[in-house]
Amino acid sequence: MSARILVVDDEAAIRRLARVALERAGLAVREAENAREALLFANAERPDLVLLDLGLPDRDGLELVPLLKAKGLAVIIVSARDSTSEKVAALDLGADDYVTKPFDSEELLARIRAALRHRAGTKAIAPLVNIGRISLDLAGHIVCRDGMEVHLTRKEHDVLAVLARSPGRVVTHKALLAAVWPDVTDPPMEYLRIVVRNLRQKLETDPSRPSLIRNETGIGYRLSSD
Amino acid sequence: MNEPPAPDPDALLKAAQRAARGRLKIFLGAAPGVGKTYEMLGEARARVAAGTDVVAGVVETHGRADTMAMLDGLERVPLRQLQWQGGTLAEMDIDAILARRPALVLVDELAHTNAPGSRHPKRWQDVEELLAAGIEVFTTLNIQHVESLNDVVASFTRVRVRETVPDRLLEAADIQVVDLPPDELIQRLKDGKVYVPAEASRALAHFFSPANLSALRELALRRAAQSVDAQMLDLVRGLGLPGQWPVAERILVAVSDHPGCESLVRTAKRQADAARAPWTALNVVTPASRAAQAQARLAATLALAAQLGGEVAHVPAPDILAGIKAHAAQVRATQIIVGKAQRSWWFKLRHGSLVDRLIRETPGIAVNVVPIEGPVPAASAALGRPVPLAGWVWTLLMVAAATLVALALRSGLGIANVSLLYMLPVMAAATLFGLNAGIMAGLASALAFNFFFLPPIYTFTIADPENWLAVAVLLGVAVVTSQLASRIRAQADLAATSARDNAVLAGFLSRLTRIAENDALAQTITTEFARQFDCQAVLAGPGPDGPAQLAASEADVALDTMAQAAAGWALVRGEVAGHGSATLTASDWLFRPLPGASGPLAVLGLRREDGRDPVPPDQLPLLAGLIDQAALALDRARLAGEARQLARVEERDRLRATLLQSVAHDLKTPLTIIQAAAAELERGSTPALIATVRAEAERLKRFVGNLLDMARVEAGALHPMPEPIDLTDAIAAAVHDTRHVLGDRPIQLDVRPDLPLVRLDPRLFHHMLINLLDNAGRYAAAATPLAIIATRRPDGLDLAIIDSGPGLPDGHDPFTAFRRLKGSDRSAGGTGLGLAIVKGFADAMGLRVTAANRGDDATGAVFTLHMADNLLVRTPAEALL
């Protein structure tokens, strides 16, 4: 059975556009035009994922994020608001991803796939991840590039492991820092930057054009999922 | 001080305006019937005889034969007939007069109200038009029609006239009073020679009482004199002439620390009101030192004067009389009010009467003497100041030394010369230690002289009566010398105090004038006051809810509720409040208003930690001077700030207008294309158009993004949130986001992985890079290479974006908003905002951005972002493993 997506947006044109793109990709679509409808359908129909606009007429979309997450739904924010602080806030509240309007429908579909995959994966984390030329054995702490084992420091391994837990999804700086340096209060951002830089040197084909560990400006990092 | 005084530009301007206009001459009378019209006609005839082109615009003869006769032979401009409610009214024909253009026109009854339908409702407005046309006007006016006197006249005549003439007409006019003693006027009235409308005869009977007529006559004469004064003042100022020019009343009241002086101030206020004259309360600062209590009384008296609307002046002078004389001459006072307290005959004998000397030495100025009650404060102690113990000892030692010298030289000296020798200790003691020591020296010298030198020697008996003279001379010398010396010393002290105060004022002023910015100015003011008076100072201005602290001499100064209340009072009322004043005395702080043109600009608060008065009474004049300077400086800064604000608003408006034009064009182009392409696609046209729609949509997206960014830059709403970023990340993201614009251009990346991180706002930096890449993509031809090179420098890090386009023309600043290279392809263009945004963001983050042409053989532009050393983040080696 195909995944069911709830598109929440007060603009009919945006809903229609999303429906066309999603249905073309074989997803089932339900539309809601305000927060009340969104909660109603989320309860009644148990969709797999919600595309959520923040600027809803009756309620701020950010308030819906924890409610939807509590029901175990994947949530992708689709909004015209592009301040980094708002994106980070949405992600911190549990949103799986954030897409800024105007959006590219291919990109939107990629994010949806990543989020759905993650949602399926939360039930049982796959110990082995393969991305392009890289294979990760998270349990065995082994990382191979083109089949050759690459030596990573502990922090490099930790960062990679956190990203690999949800390939294709953005992980905020804050979440990464907290996960990798748990015993440092307010670990400085430069730690993360340097570790990511070193990881790239070891894993990327062209470290100055990173394709494995993608930067989300001002928000976090994302591990490529393909 | 002796440079020639500069002419006052306002006065010159007024004179110039008068020169271009026709002159106005007003024949001013106390009442109807004094013969104004007759007088005017008489003068007009004289002018005709002198060859002036005179016409009569309107003359009310009221049928009197003598007046009619005077009108004979004068050219008259016919009156204009107006239809009004069935009847006909005749009014002066202003158009006919203007067309006729005489040199002089006679317009009777200046206060007349024109008939409805006339050009101006009032005749004086007609007259103003004639004057403006350069025609001289003679007119007549009764004093009760002068606007400012209307109330006064009505109050005693019980006849209120509604037709009034503004005072400014009188101020610019030559005024000739047509005067007739009241008795003669009443006689004329009885003889029927005065025109009285029948319906008003009963009211007028009261009006023409001798008392009323006298009062009106006085008013007319005084008003004329006042007008003359005002014009003379303008003349004096215009020429920059100094000199004694009597003006309308100007009252000076001399006050001291005497407790009765408050009533003196009130008297001055009443007299000033009666004479409608400005007045000044004068405090002559003499060398005589005063007790703090007396200073406080003086301050209270001066505060009262200020509160009653008088000016307050502090004049340093060697004595009261000199101070009063100097200030009276300076402000051209016409009246001096002084108090006279009952003093002992002895005091009068010693000092003479101040009042008598004042009257004698200020000829031409009326001196009003008001008796004042209350005990006389202790007289000045300058002459008989206490002598320190060392003074007594020194005095006696000097006398002893003189005696020893005289004894040693006795054989060679005559008795007379010995007595001369004793002059030395007497003069020295009097000079050094004052009168008492001088007298002491005189007595001691006389005794020693008598004992050692006057026969019989070694007794205190004086045998020869002639020798009494020697003793008397010694005493006399002591008194005279000490008087002279103490006077000189007092004057020197005064000069020193005055010089010190002036130096303080000048220093303060020069420090203030160097500051244009408001906050810095407020800070300097508080610091200076705190330093000068060795106390805490705070400056508060009007805030949204009550007084708001602008600056304080110390960082931790905070005003409590009581101080807030006192500051608020001072700010709203413009009065002194708080500690040591009359209001809200419970506050630790004393607040003084800094006066501005319309109410206090701010208030200055002063406080001493030890709870004493923040400013000692003898420094109050200095405080007042400093406060005036501070107020001026604040006012200047406020005006400058307003001018800057205005300039900013204008500049912003200009930018907005330009932006709107630019945006309208740039947004409509892609919209047009998208709309047309969509319509074509609907009709099943070629799918190639889909790429067009997509490209144009991208363009629109970029425009809108830029517009929003520019709005943020202009609104100053950029709040960079810097964090360490990796240039590799930033460049990769920017290249990714501009892939559609850059298309097939090969990009050479030279960003070494060991470069330091840079502390920047990631989002703003991303937008800067996008705009720079977008710019390169727009100007450089397709498929030409593009390079992004990061270079570590000793003082920072440079990031250069190098294209292979045509390069920049000479003298072109690419970072100015709304500027775009001519010839650049419109279809690929934008609002020209991109680089201005780069500049705005760079400024906000402390980056420097420059543009230049390539130095090598190829053409192209180089845009470089210079990141200074302080933006770079040292790579932490620890905690990474």
What percent of chain B shows pLDDT beyond 70? Answer: 84
Give B153-159 contacts, CB < 8 A, sequence gap 24+: B153/B216, B153/B219, B156/B211, B156/B212, B156/B215, B157/B206, B157/B207, B157/B212, B157/B216, B158/B206, B159/B203, B159/B204, B159/B206, B159/B207
Residue A158 CB neighbours (<10 A): 18
Q: Do domains B9-239 and B718-873 have the same CATH topology?
A: no
How far, CA to CA in Å, does A166 sit from each of A178, A189, B497? 16, 21, 84
Nearest alpha carbon to residue B751 among B833, B865, B610: B865
Q: What is the pLDDT of residue B140?
A: 93
- Share above pLDDT 70 across residues of chain A, in percent, rounded to a whole number: 96
Q: Residues B534-559: pLDDT tens digits? A: 888 999 988 887 788 888 888 777 88
Are both A91 and A161 inside the same structural domain? no
Q: Choose one of A75, A95, A121: the last residue of a domain.
A: A121
CATH of residue A173:
1.10.10.10
Looking at residue B782, the DSSP 8-state letter turns out to be T
The pLDDT value given to residue B182: 80
A12 and A117 co-located in one domain:
yes
CB-based contact (8 Å) between B749 and chain A? yes
Same domain flag for A64 and A108:
yes
Beta strands in B70-179 (DSSP E): 75-76, 80-84, 87-91, 104-107, 136-142, 174-178
Q: Show me where the domains of chain B are located.
A: 9-239, 251-371, 389-489, 718-873
Per-range mean pLDDT, top range of B15-29, B131-145, B160-174: B131-145
Higher pLDDT, B158 or B737: B737
**Which residues have a Cβ under 8 Å from the Cβ of B53 and sit 6 or more positions away?**
B102, B103, B104
Of the candidate ranges A49-58, B35-44, B596-605, B757-766, the one whose mean pLDDT is the lowest: B596-605
Could you report how far apart the first and last alpha carbons of chain B are, in Å?
80
Interface check A188 vs B, CB under 8 A? yes
- Within 8 A of B732 by CB-CB distance, chain A residues are 208-210, 215
Domain span at A67? 4-121
pLDDT digits (tens, 9 = 90+) for B261-299: 878 888 887 788 777 777 888 888 776 655 666 777 777
Which one-letter amino acid corresponds to residue B570? A
What one-character DSSP code corresponds to residue A60? B
Contact A176, A192 (CB under 8 A): yes
Q: Number of A to B CB contacts under 8 A, please give it.
A: 76
- Domain co-membership, A82 together with A175: no
Is residue A31 located within the same domain as residue A111? Answer: yes
A15 and A113 belong to one structural domain: yes
CATH number 6.10.140.120 given to B9-239 = no
Question: In this structure, are A142 and A216 located in the same domain?
Answer: yes
Q: Which of A201, A209, A217 to mutate to test the interface with B (most CBs of B within 10 A)?
A: A217
Tell which wins on pLDDT, B544 or B605.
Answer: B605
**Residue of A154, A192, A197 to mutate when probing chain B, most B C-beta within 10 A:** A197
Of A84, A201, A215, the CB nearest to B729: A215
Model confidence at B139: pLDDT above 90: yes
The domain made up of B718-873 is a member of CATH 2.60.40.10 = no
DSSP B51: T
Cis ω before B242 (30° cut-off from 0): no
Contacting residues of B for A183, CB less than 8 Å apart: none
Segment A8-26, tens digit of pLDDT: 998 888 888 889 889 998 9
- Assign residue B117 a region (left: φ > 0; alpha: ψ between -120 and 50; beta: otherwise): left
* Mean pLDDT, residues A194-218 taken together: 88
Q: Which residue blocks in B308-371 are alpha helix, DSSP H? A: 320-331, 345-351, 354-361
Under DSSP, is residue B532 helix (H, G, I), strand (E, B) or coil?
helix
| pLDDT for the residue B881 | 58
- Pick from A102, A121, A140: which residue ends a domain? A121
**Half-sphere exposure (CA, 13 Å, Cβ side) for A208?**
14
The number of folded domains in chain A is 2
Whether B464 has a pLDDT exceeding 80, the answer reads no
**Chain B CB within 8 Å of residue A181 CB:** yes
Confidence of residue B196 (pLDDT cuts 50, 70, 90): low
The CATH class of the B251-371 domain is alpha beta
Q: Minimal Cα–Cα distance from A215 to chain B, Å? A: 6
From CA B106, how far away is CA B128, in angstroms rounded? 13
Q: CA–CA separation, B15 vs B234, rounded Å? A: 8
pLDDT over threshold 60, residue B233: no
Asked if residue A3 has pLDDT above 70, the reply is yes
Q: Which pLDDT score, from 0 to 100, does residue B204 have?
A: 64
Of A188, A195, A218, the CB nearest to B763: A218
Residues 6+ apart with CB under 8 A from A34: A8, A10, A56, A57, A58, A59
Tokens of B290: 């005063």
Higher-scoring residue by pLDDT: B455, B553: B553
pLDDT digit string (tens) for B305-358? 776 777 777 777 777 888 888 888 877 788 888 887 766 555 555 556 777 888
Q: Which pLDDT tens digit goes with each residue over B411-442?
A: 777 777 777 888 888 888 877 887 778 888 88
CA nearest B188: which of B28, B38, B25, B27?
B38
Residues A8 and A101 in one domain: yes
Q: What is the CA radius of gyration of chain B?
A: 44
Q: Tell me what the pLDDT averaged over chain B comes to.
A: 78
Closest CA of chain A from B638, distance in Å? 37
Select, from the ranges A161-165, B285-289, B454-458, the one with the highest average predicted confidence (pLDDT): A161-165
pTM of the entire predicted model: 0.45
Kindly indicate the confidence band of residue A5, based on its pLDDT and cuts at 50, 70 and 90: very high
| Edge-first strand listing for the sheet containing A134-137 | A128-131, A134-137, A142-145, A148-149
Terminal C-alpha separation, chain A = 24
Q: Determine the pLDDT at residue B194.
A: 73
Residue B77 has a CB neighbour count (10 Å cut-off) of: 20
**A162 in the same domain as A210:** yes
Which comes out higher in pLDDT, residue B742 or A63? A63
Residues B201-216: tens digit of each pLDDT: 665 667 777 777 877 8
In this complex, do A184 and B875 lie within 8 Å of one another by their Cβ atoms?
no
Residue ending a domain, among A82, A104, A121, is: A121
**Which pLDDT value is given to residue A159?**
92
Residue-level pLDDT at B826: 39
Q: Which of A125, A22, A37, A13 has its CA nearest to residue A76?
A: A22
Cα–Cα dist B40/B803, whole Å = 90
Contact B108, B60 (CB under 8 A): yes
How confident is the model over B606-651, as pLDDT tens digits? 988 887 777 776 677 778 878 888 888 888 888 888 888 888 888 7
Helical H segments across A79-182, by residue range: 84-92, 105-121, 154-164, 173-180
Contacts of B700 (CB under 8 A, 6+ apart): B667, B670, B671, B674
A189 with A168, same domain: the answer is yes
Find the mean pLDDT for residues A114-123: 74
